[in-house]
């Protein structure tokens, strides 16, 4: 009986050890940041900046959608919550061209996966750590923060994306696929190995629309703010989300 018990213990230990060695891709969400069928190209470059603190974040990926990013919806890739990381209005005092602009961190329902998205035109959640459903619109793409490109209707708009597993660097994974970016910054490829098409998450809830109401008076500490100050989040109304 003792030998059988030890065999069981050894088997359990072996399985646990193997699970620790599995690549981070195995933990990836099967959802996406974009509606079904959205085509986009991913790019990066050596020394591409990452959000503070840099040690947390994996490779930086810039995403440019077919036809431009400006005013395109950003979806929650799965059930979870959204941490408002920075806002132009509060963190950068209205300077749209400073830092990451409007940016968020989506955190999976089990807490193990985190995705940072920057340069949003607007954030459509109502409070930090708001729970969201897969496919819910949580923001609108734009060009706030420090972005390259100033001409044309899109004016350099794109999404900056980083991903982590348990707050450790991990490759960006969308629709269950590892996104391998081109080394050409702002690459607008329409086909080839760096071009992807979103499978899209299951849409369950809609977006919140902006409200003219004054900002909330309840301060919320965001530990990842560059200057560690507290922030206020503008409320939303006519919201079909949680």
pTM of the model: 0.75
Mean pLDDT of all residues in 106-112: 93
Does position 127 have pLDDT exceeding 60, yes or no? yes
* More confidently predicted of 174 and 188: 174
The mean per-residue pLDDT over the stretch 60-73 comes to 92
The better pLDDT of the pair 54, 60 is held by 60
Q: What is the dihedral of CA 169, 227, 98, 222, to 10 degrees?
A: 60
What pLDDT shows up at residue 227?
A: 35
In whole angstroms, give the CA distance from residue 229 to residue 57.
22
Please name which of 88, 205, 85 lies closest in space to residue 142, comparing C-alpha atoms: 88
Give the containing element (helix H, strand E) for 11.
helix 2-21
pLDDT for 66: 92
What is the arithmetic mean of pLDDT over 125-153? 85
CA 98/CA 131 separation, integer angstroms = 28
- Given a cut of 60, is residue 175 above it in pLDDT? yes
Q: Does 210 have pLDDT greater than 60?
A: no
**Alpha carbons 101 and 117: distance in angstroms, whole number:** 10
Residue 27: predicted pLDDT = 53
pLDDT greater at residue 29 or residue 31: 31
pLDDT at 207: 53
């Amino acid at each position: 009986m003792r030998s059988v018990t030890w065999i069981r213990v050894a088997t359990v230990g072996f399985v646990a050890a193997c699970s620790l060695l599995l690549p981070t891709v195995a933990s990836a969400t099967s959802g996406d940041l974009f509606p079904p069928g959205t085509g986009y190209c991913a790019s990066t470059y050596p020394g591409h900046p990452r959000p503070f603190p840099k040690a947390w974040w994996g490779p930086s990926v810039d995403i440019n959608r077919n036809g431009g990013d400006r005013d395109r919806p950003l979806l929650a890739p799965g059930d979870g919550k959204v941490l408002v990381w920075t806002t132009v209005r509060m963190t950068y005092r209205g300077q749209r061209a400073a830092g990451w602009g409007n940016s968020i961190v989506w955190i999976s329902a089990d807490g193990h996966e985190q995705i940072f998205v920057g340069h949003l035109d607007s954030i459509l959640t109502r409070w930090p750590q708001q729970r969201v459903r897969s496919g819910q619109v949580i923001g609108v793409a734009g060009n706030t923060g420090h972005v390259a490109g100033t001409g044309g209707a899109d004016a350099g708009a794109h999404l900056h994306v980083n991903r982590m597993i348990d707050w450790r660097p991990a490759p960006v994974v969308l629709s269950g696929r590892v996104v391998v970016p081109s080394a050409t910054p702002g690459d607008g490829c329409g086909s080839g190995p760096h071009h992807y098409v979103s499978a899209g998450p299951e849409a369950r809830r809609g977006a919140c629309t902006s409200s003219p109401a004054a900002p909330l008076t309840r301060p919320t500490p965001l530990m990842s703010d560059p200057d560690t100050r507290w922030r206020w989040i503008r409320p939303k109304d006519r919201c079909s989300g949680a």
